[in-house]
Amino acid sequence: MTDKIALFPLKSILFPGCVLDLQIFEARYLDMISRCFKREEGFVVVPLESGPEAGSGNLRFNALGCEARIIDWQQRDNGLLGIRVQGSRRVRISDVSVADDGLIEAQTSWVDEAADQPLGAAQADLLALRDSLMQHPMAASLGLPPVEDSQQRLGYQLAFLLPFSLEQKTELLATDAPERRLELIGDWLQAMQS
């Protein structure tokens, strides 16, 4: 267990090694970003299952998220703060509370990753798909690291890049075995083509 860490509920999912661009405008999140810079720490992006992204009230989110580390920031043309975060490690949350400023915080426990496996012939089509997706300018601009020979990295990047539902992406984030994650992705891609 660690100290309480700030949560950032989103209707999208951050995966380890992947990046998200976020636009920050609420005071509670601007304060959170300031604290992250000062303390050189991250926050946790959690999948928002119901309720508004911008606001409080009746929010429901998953108990599994991903630590987000700020890797870049800029003042946007609209005057808002834009940040780019990179997913670090998966995390389970518990003992959720709301601070006086409305920031949601929780106790966290880090999820250990299963041993990575090298890519094999069974993953050749998925690797080719990832390489094809990375040719798109929007995907290329993300600066995702090369997959090299990692089932873990390939699975997380495909989970991030492909247009799966929030429920499917949540299942992929919760899947521990890299090979199983790739099998699920392959099965869902086949179902989409049928």
pLDDT at position 30 is 85
Average of pLDDT values for 82-108? 90
CA nearest 91: which of 104, 71, 102, 106? Answer: 106
Domain 121-193 has CATH 1.10.10: no
What's the mean per-residue pLDDT of the chain? 89
Going by C-beta distance under 8 Å and a sequence separation of 6 or more, which residues neighbour residue 122?
182
User: What gap in Å lies between CA 2 and CA 158, rounded to an integer?
Assistant: 30
Q: Which fold has domain 5-110?
A: 2.30.130
Average of pLDDT values for 120-144? 94
pLDDT of 50 higher than 70: no
Share of residues in the chain with pLDDT > 90 (%): 60
User: What gap in Å lies between CA 106 and CA 94, rounded to an integer?
Assistant: 6
Partners of residue 82 on adjacent β-strands:
23, 74
Return the minimum-mean-pLDDT range out of 5-19, 70-84, 88-102, 143-157.
Answer: 70-84
Same CATH topology for 5-110 and 121-193: the answer is: no
Average of pLDDT values for 43-48? 91
- Are 64 and 90 in contact by the 8 Å Cβ rule? The answer is yes
pLDDT at position 176 is 96
Average of pLDDT values for 71-97? 88
pLDDT at position 131 is 95
R_g (Cα) of the chain, nearest Å: 17
User: What gap in Å lies between CA 21 and CA 11, rounded to an integer?
Assistant: 13
pLDDT of 53 higher than 60: no
Global pTM reads: 0.89
pLDDT at position 19 is 95
Domain ranges across the chain: 5-110, 121-193
What tokens does 114 get? 């299963």
Average of pLDDT values for 62-74? 91
pLDDT of 194 higher than 70: yes
Report which DSSP code applies to 16. Answer: B
- Are 98 and 87 in contact by the 8 Å Cβ rule? The answer is no
pLDDT of 123 higher than 80: yes
